[in-house]
Structure 1
Amino acid sequence: MTKAFHEFSTLPRSDLVSQVGAALTDAVLSGRIEPGQRIPESVIAREMGISRAPVREAARQLESAGLLVAIPNRGFFVREINARAMDDLYELRLAIESAAIVRLASQAGDRGMPRLRACLKRLHDTADEDAPQAQVAAADLAFHRAICEASGNERLLAAFDQIAAEVQMGLVLIGCIYGDADRVAETHRPLLDAIAAGDVEQARAAIEEHIGTARRLVVQRLQQRDLGPPGKAVSRRQAGRAR
């Protein structure tokens, strides 16, 4: 008999795939469904009071977004992030956001500033509310997306959206490393100041420092996790068996 998953509730019938996708995304990014864990389509469908078809379609969308992987004859699993993959992701992220912030800083006027200020305030609000780390990461992601959107380059925004879910997984980890949402929020201040000043070189340097620091912290944390205790390397499969 299949064990209940106890992560999902019954859904209304409108726009099922989007609702299932949102629920799955939240469960993955919040860590309630862990990396490497299988997505039990039939159990989730039963708990939501729907058929398996919307669950399967939502899982396919999350696979495209980089959150899940499909294994033939076994189903969908939460993607396991590792140091190499995250390093590659941050390299791509830096290329996208560097182009976006330089383009935005070079434009005259106050374009995007009200939205960016609101996003930064929301980041600070998550600290005041002692919000879960997934909410802090979502607010962090919204700030960076706002830069891409305000740049006016739709291709940059589309490229950012393509990697957004995987980026958010990294942001959750960053928040855990810092352990302080206010500190996370303040790391965004130099970006806002450079854009407001219209200083292209300052903006480029600020985004390189911001994403570069995050990249180092995330990669180091994942390398430490994969190696295990000093002097005793542990593979992901061995770690899984030990749990």
Structure 2
Amino acid sequence: MSDQPSDPAPLSFRRWEQRTEVPLLVVSLVFLLGYAVRVLAPAGAGFWRDLALVLVCAAWLVFVGDYVVRLRLSGLGIRFVRVHWLDTVVLLLPLLRPLRLIRLYTAVQRHRRQPRLSLYARVMAYAGVSALLLGFSAALAVYHQEHTAAGASIRTFGDSVWWACATLTTVGYGDAVPVTPSGRVVASGLMACGLALLGAVTGSFSSWMLQVFRREDEKRPPEGG
């Protein structure tokens, strides 16, 4: 019986992913910074807005190049789009790249014998960082679409941040809501991500508490009959 590798991906594909995880994270942050400047810079700051647009376009071209290289190295052909569907979604919606943070963390841990954080701490840390980045990205996107729309209740970036916090925490006060179709699409995605991240944090915290109580019970001497 022939030995089969635990990871079916070609070696060249895995090496490419390992070498590009950190650079792509830097490019992702450049994209987010450029998009933030493009959205938040005043109308009179023409130079900075143009520079931000160049950064956004250049970063997206890097994402496209990485996607094409990974598609060719995977050996899957067109099936790569279906198998790596999250990568395809992230390519079309680059503001969702924070969802790939878990892969960067995994790549870093390959160089260590043991993770520095426990499983529960890792889940909560990843969920917390993802929530911050996704909330900021969603606030930028919604503000971009809403602040000039007729009848909009989100007029300032502060309003947008407040809306993102209420949406991520599933509170939903209703005092600030998107009115444009694209703004509501962003809101729907943030709702889904908020539920998933909140569930991950709540489940991990509950499991950690149960583990602590179980250890305390095991240390407690048995009661006399």
The TM-score, its normalising length taken from structure 2, stands at: 0.29
- Give the number of the structure whose residues are more often helix, by fraction: 2
Larger radius of gyration, structure 1 or 2? Answer: 2
The TM-score, its normalising length taken from structure 1, stands at: 0.28
**More relative contact order in 1 or in 2 (CA 8 Å, sep 6+)?**
1
